[in-house]
Amino acid sequence: MTSAAAANSPVDGVLATASIVLSLLVAVWALVAAVRHRPPDRVQFIGLGVLEVALLVLSVLALVAVGGGDRPGEPGAFFGYLVTLVCLPPLAWVLARMEPTRWGSAIVCAVCLVAPVVVLRLQQTWEVLGG
């Protein structure tokens, strides 16, 4: 792809950065809860919900960009990461609901630490050829 495509990466912007920051904030909050022997609280579930909405919007933006003719550098990996990413908050949600102990908070923390990594990989797999 051209470098112009990379410059207009749909997964590298305010929303992506906000998702990463939000995910890390939820991770820290959940970690504190886990350390204090607290089960997942409303803040964690609301955080997961907002994170999921942000990630879904990010996915729609990416799909719109693809529909508009832009192509990720590594399409297979990109869409793999995209599908994985939007599944992470629901996974944390379900497991946290099943485990109303400190370990539920630990699960939310773990998943919210993985999500930012996946967002970064998403950005890398979009830009790999555009440089």
Partner 1 sequence: MVETRPAGRATNAGPGRLLIAVYLLFAIAATSRAGLQIATKFDEAPVAYLLSGVAALIYIVAAVGLARAGHTGRRVALACCSVELVGVVVVGILSLVDKELFPDETVWSQFGSGYGYIPLVLPVLGLIWLWRTRRSPA
What is the contact surface with partner 1 in residues (CB under 8 A)?
76-77, 80, 84, 87, 91-92, 95, 98-99, 101, 103-104, 106-107, 110-111, 114
Q: At what angle do helices 102-127 and 42-67 cross, to 10 degrees?
A: 20
**How far apart are alpha carbons 115 and 107 in whole angstroms?**
12
- Nearest approach, Cβ of residue 4 and partner 1 (Å): 26
- Nearest approach, Cβ of residue 96 and partner 1 (Å): 9
- Nearest approach, Cβ of residue 70 and partner 1 (Å): 20
Contact 62, 82 (CB under 8 A): yes
If the CB atoms of residues 26 and 106 are measured against partner 1, the closer one turns out to be 106
Residue 72, both tokens:
């990720």
- Nearest approach, Cβ of residue 7 and partner 1 (Å): 26
If the CB atoms of residues 15 and 95 are measured against partner 1, the closer one turns out to be 95
3-state secondary structure 54-65: HHHHHHHHHHHH
Contact 126, 72 (CB under 8 A): yes
If the CB atoms of residues 8 and 124 are measured against partner 1, the closer one turns out to be 124
If the CB atoms of residues 1 and 103 are measured against partner 1, the closer one turns out to be 103
Query: DSSP secondary-structure letter at 37?
Result: T
